[in-house]
Amino acid sequence: MTERVAADGTPAAATPVFLVLERDALIATDIAGALAMQGPCEVVQVTHPAEIPARLNGIAHVSAALVEMRYAEFLESGLPELLGSLGARIILTAGEVDREKIAERGWFLLVRPFTDTMLRRTLAAKPLAL
């Protein structure tokens, strides 16, 4: 594998990879557009959790995963382990009632309807200190 380098010869930063699990194609496209507005990135869009392992095969690091799942559903899916092993910042986009449980895990909740600004703030936020 060839390592990318910047113009000054230093190693170039890896292109961020974002996972978007969203059943609504319009919302998924909006999220992907908002992520792309921040700079070069790869957005992996899926509509069903079962697609994720195959789509992330060969990807060493995921910057953030925006997941349309409620807290309990996410825990039962096995995705916390997979995404955690890839270093992903977990951002759930459903289940406002579980806000405290989500924060206790160091994850984030993006409450619907959300804006590009809300998305950018969530990507930049630090987990709550417990």
Alpha helices in 24-108 (DSSP H): 25-36, 52-56, 71-77, 79-85, 99-104
- Which has more confidence, 129 or 75? 75
- Which has more confidence, 11 or 14? 14
Q: Judge contact between 114 and 93, C-beta under 8 A.
A: yes
Structure tokens at 42: 């790869």
Cα separation, 102 vs 77, whole angstroms: 15
pTM here? Answer: 0.87
Q: Judge contact between 47 and 23, C-beta under 8 A.
A: yes
Check whether the bond before 113 is cis (ω within 30° of 0): yes
- Which has more confidence, 79 or 13? 79
Give tens-digit pLDDT for 35-85: 999 999 999 999 999 999 999 999 999 999 999 999 999 999 999 999 999
